[in-house]
Amino acid sequence: MEDTRKGVKCVGYWKVYGDKEKAEKTFSSYKKCTEVYKKCLSGGRHLSQMIVNTTRNRCVAS
């Protein structure tokens, strides 16, 4: 792409050229997830305790 701003509808974790509303919901989910992980980590939990298997929608480790 010659002009990287052409057609951009919004920018979050990446540039969005398509469905702005869907992208904004995804960005919001990522932000919330990041906040939860930071809170858990600062509270002493290990990352391995927070890993989620999205294929089965359950925790891998607790």
Domain boundaries, the chain: 10-59
pLDDT at 53: 65
Whether 49 and 62 have beta carbons less than 8 Å apart is answered as yes
Q: Which residue has the higher pLDDT, 11 or 56?
A: 11
pLDDT in tens, 3-47: 667 889 999 999 999 999 999 999 999 999 899 989 999 999 988
Scan for tokens 């927070």, then name that residue: 50
pLDDT at 23: 95
- Residue 59: pLDDT band (50, 70, 90) is very low
Q: What is the C-alpha separation between 48 and 60, in angstroms, rounded?
A: 8
